[in-house]
Amino acid sequence: MSATIGDGMTALALAGGIVGYLYLKSQTRQKKIEVIHQERMVAMEKGIPLPEFPLEEERRRESDPEVISILGIVLFSLSIGTMVVLYLGLPAPSHSFWISPLPFAFLGCGFIAYRFLQIKAGR
């Protein structure tokens, strides 16, 4: 398998896009900090109590414990279905490919087991 110039250009464009996105994100954050700083300076000059300094809005919410079990069920059922389709749909020499979704089935089982262990621990 050999890489072409087009593949290299695609990889460079993707890396450039990621770096550009991160740069713009940091510039936006820096501008936001500057605006907040200016607001605080004006408030200090006028003798107004300083507003809170909201760098990042607290959008954290408690995770829903059901998400893990739902994700586990979805991963497990999709991988089992894919294994059945691969086993029944592929020609005889290719039957060994039915095990390819097996890691996702194990991942789904792991998520489901983790959720049951959480319930058992009383969390």
Mean pLDDT of 49-78: 77
Residue entry with tokens 């998520």: 111
- Token readout for 3 is 């890489």
**Which is more confident, 123 or 63?**
63
- Token readout for 46 is 């006028």
- Token readout for 72 is 């586990």
pLDDT confidence bin for 39, thresholds 50/70/90: confident
pLDDT confidence bin for 44, thresholds 50/70/90: confident
Mean pLDDT of 73-86: 94
Mean pLDDT of 84-112: 91
Cα angle for residues 82, 84, 94 (degrees, 5° grid) = 90
Total-model pTM: 0.51
Average pLDDT across the chain, whole number: 86
